[in-house]
A and B are shown apart, each in its own frame.
Chain A
Amino acid sequence: MNQKKEPLLQMEDISISFGGLKALNEVSLEVYPEEIMAIIGPNGAGKTTLLNIINGFYKPDEGRILFEGKDRTRMHPDHVAALGIARTFQNIALFRGMSVLDNIMMGRHLHMNAGFFSQGFFWGLGQKEEIKHREAVEWVIDWLEIENIRKSPAGMLPYGLQKRVELGRALAAEPKLLLLDEPTAGMNLEEKEDIARFILDANEELDYTIALIEHDMGVVMDICDRIVVLDFGNKIAEGPPDEIKANPKVIKAYLGEAED
């Protein structure tokens, strides 16, 4: 646990409504450096909305977001990415027509700055840069064990591999904060174990800070340091896995009122 450190991301009293629906109601949470934090909750609890707010797709109606101590409540998603926040999507948002290599290369987009001519004609800075980024991308590809599909169009891959490529794209950006929206959704047991291992390794070997949404309680309880539970837009609990498992409010949210 890293509770004593300064939080990397702080959300204070975040509220957002869509029409009459209050999707999030004064939710506050922190993400601390080098931890894996999970956001869980029943369907419609506002988990993805929360991620979309961190990521800048939605602007909160009320509340404040601090990243590395600086206010960044109202920012465009591309600026958020430039701050060092990368993410994956629940329904997979890959560049379907591009190769796996190009997809992961897109993760390096913000790290490149050579001009048209040096890139177009592959000389000077453009050449040096391309080689450097290609090395970084190949490293990610090796790390995720997807060497054999690096030239395949991303859209043609099976679901589990697409999820892995998406993770690769996020990792290639070398983000300070990695957001994962249901990284194991729709996978079989073996694929889930693979992804869970990659997430753990990213945290332990590469020191990434990770916030994830996940429905598979087995995965959540195994890999996360801390859990935040949402229900109907409200935060109902927060704590380490063991506490959350025993929390009566959480059990109620998931299973309904116990009758005995």
Chain B
Amino acid sequence: MTFFIEVTISGLLAGIMYSLVALGFVMIFKASGVFNFAQGAMVLFAALTFVRFLEMGMWVWAAFVVTLVAMIVLATAIEWIVLRPLVARPPIILFMATIGLSFFLEGFGQGIWDNQVHGLDCESVLGIPDIPAGWLMEKGLMISQFDLLAAAVAAVSVVLLVLFFQKTRTGRALRAVSDDHEASLSVGIPLRWIWGITWAIAGLIALVAGILWGTRLGVQYSLSMVVLKALPVIILGGFDSIPGAIIGGLIIGSAEKLGEVYLGDYVGGGIENFLPYLLAMVFLWFRPYGLFGREIIERV
């Protein structure tokens, strides 16, 4: 039983990390109805910038703030150069623009920094070693402190985002913008400012996700691939739902770990890598809008 709990918890904790990446997608999708293909590149860019500043000898917090500023500048530039000329165009055009952006960012990031693998040491960056938490060990559970911290960070981000979206004027404006650009302008919402904010927040999420995942995997090109794990999460949770991204992440995380441990042996193991996508596919049959996604009903 303890083993089952341990597997489940480590699955949930991994899931939270997926959620964090998924949140970046959801942010942009909610505000502009666009699937931001460049989210992975943003995660990589943020992590790379952060790690290089650290290597220059900056303090952790200073590096964090400087990288955050860099992400905001980047978001503003994206808004200015890529999105502004495309206001009120169909979502598919914006989607294509984000594909281009993703290739550019990957190249640009590795161009100004480098393409080596950089380690992010858990203890020096986050202030805690990546070892099982003592107080849980006493209860017989081996859960990494790092995983717990990552989960806490993700949880706080989620609460703040939900408050922001549901309760504030700007949040309400963001939801409005995703529904109708022209109507938003007509009630006085500055579309460009709103998009700037959205991309800046997506940049912040990318930075947090980049640091946490970078600690796990090392900061390198393949970091931009972690977003692939976020895809089944948002399919499950719904493209435009913040709670959906969280629940979806938890389901995917625990399902892949439990599946690997309890079902893996029957099919030769290694199912952890494709089980999430299988789940997402099955899920699409029954709820194409995801668990919490908004159903769009077309009247005929």
Contacts and interface: CB of A to CB of B under 8 A. Distances in A.
Nearest to B169: A112
A57 B169 CA distance: 23
Contact of B169 (A86, A95, A98, A119): A119
A102 B180 contact: no
A115 B172 CA distance: 13
A109 B297 CA distance: 27
A212 B179 CA distance: 25
B182 A93 contact: yes
Nearest to A172: B187
**B160, B169, B188, B190: residue with the most chain A Cβ atoms closer than 10 Å:** B188
A16 B106 CA distance: 43
Interface stretch (A24-32, A73-81, A219-227, A247-255): A73-81
B175 interface: yes
Interface string A101-127: 010011101101110100111100010
Secondary structure at chain B's binding surface: helix, strand, loop or mixed? Answer: helix
Contacts of A97: 175, 178-179, 294
A77 B185 contact: yes
A110 B183 contact: no
Interface residues of A, number: 36
A169 B189 CA distance: 13
Contacts of B163: 120-121
B77 to A, nearest CB: 20
Nearest to A110: B188
Given A57-B182, A106-B189, 10 more contacts: A78-B190, A78-B191, A95-B176, A95-B183, A96-B179, A102-B175, A106-B172, A119-B168, A121-B167, A126-B167
9 contacts: A77-B182, A81-B187, A102-B175, A105-B172, A106-B172, A106-B189, A119-B169, A126-B167, A173-B188
